[in-house]
């Protein structure tokens, strides 16, 4: 996590209004390390949340609610195995956002793996979040949260890839040694990575009607503006 936070701190602009929210499970094996990290200084406000163990979707929604209550205009999905590489990335994102016709789009940047092919870490506006009432669904075990958001946006042609920003995703499937204790524990509790992914994919496919309904909900909001 320190590497992730430091990379954000090192690459944001001097006029940045970025705030980072970190969710820590109360039974995390590295809990005291997070407490120590919380005391460190970065070039942006960093809010640590300590709570009982939740699914990843629940944790992201808790942080999204807190962020929007704190005045966030956009919510960016993150993970501790992401290293921000592009200087002034916040300005580049602000520039791209300001060129959009409205706030009802899903943005993502180059993650060093998928590029424009997949929205690995979606970015949504407070308007998108508020209208749907959630950032990500809470029905998955470990994955497919990004897929759901991406599918909603694709259905109404509201996908915006920003290639000028690189946030390198050091995923443990591509980079040995990147799986931390929390990842290992969740896999031990829920099954192998492949079996978890297969279950989440089946869940995603079974919810096509709900995905389309959410997309149509956003579309009606756009048309009413």
Domains of the chain, each with CATH number or no CATH: 2-224 (3.90.550.10)
**∠ CA(115), CA(119), CA(123), 5° rounding?**
120
Structure tokens at 109: 């940047």
* φ, ψ dihedrals at 6, nearest 5°: -65, -35
Residues 138-163 have pLDDT tens digits of 999 988 999 999 999 999 999 999 99
- In this structure, the number of other CB atoms found within 10 A of the CB of residue 69 comes to 9
Residue 194: what pLDDT? 76
Contact predicate 121/167, CB 8 Å: yes
Does the pTM exceed 0.85?
yes
Element (H, E) at 57: helix 56-69
Structure tokens at 16: 């940045």
Query: Could you tell me which of 177, 193, 195 has the C-alpha nearest to residue 185?
Result: 193
Query: Could you tell me which of 58, 77, 61 has the C-alpha nearest to residue 20?
Result: 77
Residue 178: what pLDDT? 47
Residue 225: what pLDDT? 87
Residue 53: what pLDDT? 76
Residue 172: what pLDDT? 56
Q: Which residue bears the tokens 């944790």?
A: 59
Residue 179: what pLDDT? 52
* φ, ψ dihedrals at 67, nearest 5°: -60, -45
Query: Could you tell me which of 77, 22, 24 has the C-alpha nearest to residue 52?
Result: 24
Distance CA 40, CA 166 (A): 25
The segments of the chain whose pLDDT lies below 50 read 175-178, 187
């Amino acid at each position: 996590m320190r590497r992730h936070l430091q990379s954000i701190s090192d690459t944001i602009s001097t006029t940045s209004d970025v705030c980072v929210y970190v969710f820590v499970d109360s039974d995390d094996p590295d809990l005291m390390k997070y407490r120590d990290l919380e005391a460190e200084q970065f070039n942006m406000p960093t809010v640590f949340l300590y709570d009982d163990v939740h699914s990843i979707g629940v944790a992201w929604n808790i942080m999204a609610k807190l962020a929007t209550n704190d005045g966030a205009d956009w919510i960016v999905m993150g993970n501790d195995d992401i290293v921000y590489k592009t200087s002034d990335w916040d300005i580049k994102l602000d520039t791209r956002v300001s060129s959009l016709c409205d706030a009802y789009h899903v943005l993502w940047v180059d993650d060093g793996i998928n590029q424009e092919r997949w929205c690995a870490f979606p970015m949504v506006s407070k308007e998108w979040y508020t209208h749907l009432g959630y950032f990500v669904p809470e029905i998955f075990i470990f994955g497919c949260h990004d897929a759901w958001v991406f599918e909603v946006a694709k259905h109404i042609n509201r996908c915006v890839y920003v290639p000028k920003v690189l946030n390198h995703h050091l995923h443990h499937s591509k980079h040995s040694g990147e799986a931390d204790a929390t990842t290992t524990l969740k896999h031990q509790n829920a099954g192998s990575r492949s079996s978890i992914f297969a279950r989440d994919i089946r869940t995603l496919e079974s919810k096509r009607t709900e995905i389309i309904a959410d997309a149509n909900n956003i579309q009606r909001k756009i048309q009413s503006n």
